[in-house]
């Protein structure tokens, strides 16, 4: 839980002494008796005050600060009823409860900032449309000075690219895959096709990321993993935040594709396995229970009723 609190504090711009994990852990163990812990609560509450219309008084650093914190949490309808009652009694001493309080205050502050944030009204006219942003990105990549969107900008970029290609070895870039020219109508249709494919891939990426989250969450169900929750979070969260739902592939990638993209290499090939091989691949599973499932070993179920037979003479009956 310490890592979650540290991530939230870092996003809120906190630069105090409790931004260190060990210091945060020690202050949370001391609870209300720690000056740094109380100051952090005051810092979160004081920043939350301008964002929300709360009638409770601003928190002071006097002896009754825990009463004011508890009263303000009660006013905010804090779901941790036990923590609120302990604050009002001045008995908040458990480390887990102290971390929960900080995480709750930080998340409420983040939500308040999002709700009360105002959109930027003054936007630079050069970056209102996508072409202007693309031109600036090209100039930055080519290490060119700032270029405005004018008629000769593409000629300047072309000359810069030709000068750079002179220093590149022959056949280094390769031939383009796409060698045709489209009309404006065809380019618009191509953009629509790419938008539909991006939407489909975004849905698939969302499903895969959700599967990943559920799988990683299931790792923490064991008793041994409960002791290393923070260690697992520190290793997983940075990689998880780097996964984006929206695809970054557009028509520009089609124009930049070269013929070597047609050389599909299997993921099981030797060249690919040099980059994907890890220690997990060498782990062998031991003996597992036999789950059956072989049709040749399954016996047919017994008949529910005996087979139908023709009536035989003298077979009894009512003596007729």
Q: What is the pLDDT of residue 207?
A: 92
Q: In angstroms, rounded to a whole number, what is the distance separating the alpha carbons of residues 118 and 129? A: 21
Q: Which of 47-56, 214-223, 233-242 has the lowest mean pLDDT?
A: 47-56
Non-local (6+) Cβ contacts of 54 within 8 A are 48, 72, 75, 76
pLDDT, tens digit, for every residue of 164-202? 888 878 777 788 888 888 888 988 898 899 889 989 999
Q: What is the pLDDT of residue 204?
A: 92
Smallest CA-to-CA distance from 24 within 8, 14, 36 is with: 36
DSSP string covering 262-314: G----TTSHHHHHHH--GGGG------------GGGPPPPPPSSPPP-PPPTT
Q: What is the pLDDT of residue 316?
A: 55
Q: In angstroms, rounded to a whole number, what is the distance separating the alpha carbons of residues 103 and 124? A: 37
- What is the chain's Cα-based Rg? 33
Query: Three-state DSSP class for 137?
Result: helix
pLDDT, tens digit, for every residue of 45-93? 778 764 444 433 444 444 556 667 777 777 777 777 777 777 777 677 6
Q: Which of 29-33, 43-47, 292-296, 302-306 has the lowest mean pLDDT?
A: 302-306
Query: Three-state DSSP class for 39?
Result: helix
Non-local (6+) Cβ contacts of 75 within 8 A are 54, 55, 56
What is the CA 305 to chain-centroid distance, rounded? 59
Range list of H helices, 93-183: 95-115, 130-141, 153-165
Q: In angstroms, rounded to a whole number, what is the distance separating the alpha carbons of residues 109 and 51? A: 8
Smallest CA-to-CA distance from 182 within 273, 88, 254 is with: 254
CA 234, 18, 45 angle in degrees (round to 5)?
110
Q: What global pTM score does this model have? A: 0.41
């Amino acid at each position: 839980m310490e890592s979650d609190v540290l991530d939230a504090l870092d996003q809120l711009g906190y630069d105090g002494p409790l931004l260190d994990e060990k210091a945060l852990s020690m202050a949370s163990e001391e609870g209300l008796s720690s000056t740094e812990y109380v100051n952090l609560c005051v810092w979160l509450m004081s920043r939350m005050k301008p964002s929300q219309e709360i009638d409770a008084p601003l928190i002071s650093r006097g002896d009754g600060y825990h009463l004011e914190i508890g009263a303000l949490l009660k006013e905010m309808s804090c779901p941790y009823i036990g923590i609120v009652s302990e604050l009002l009694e001045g008995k908040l001493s458990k480390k887990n409860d102290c971390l929960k309080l900080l995480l709750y205050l930080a998340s409420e502050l983040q939500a308040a900032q999002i709700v009360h944030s105002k959109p930027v009204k003054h936007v630079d006219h050069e970056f209102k449309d996508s072409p202007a942003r693309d031109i600036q990105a090209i100039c930055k990549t080519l290490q060119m000075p700032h270029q405005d969107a004018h008629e000769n900008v593409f000629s300047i970029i072309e000359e810069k690219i030709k000068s750079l290609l002179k220093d590149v070895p022959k056949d280094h870039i390769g031939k383009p895959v796409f060698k045709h020219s489209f009309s404006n109508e065809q380019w618009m249709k191509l953009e629509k096709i790419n938008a539909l494919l991006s939407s489909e891939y975004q849905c698939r990426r969302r499903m895969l990321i959700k599967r990943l989250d559920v799988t990683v969450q299931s790792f923490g169900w064991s008793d041994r993993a409960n002791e290393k929750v923070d260690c697992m979070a520190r290793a997983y969260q940075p990689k998880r935040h780097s996964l984006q739902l929206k695809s970054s592939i557009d028509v520009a990638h089609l124009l930049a594709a070269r013929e070597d993209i047609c050389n599909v290499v299997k993921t099981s090939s030797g060249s690919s396995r040099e980059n994907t091989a890890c220690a997990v691949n060498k782990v062998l599973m031991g003996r597992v229970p036999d789950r059956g499932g072989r049709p040749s070993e399954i016996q047919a179920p017994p008949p529910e009723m005996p087979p139908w037979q023709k009536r035989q003479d003298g077979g009894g009956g009512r003596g007729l």
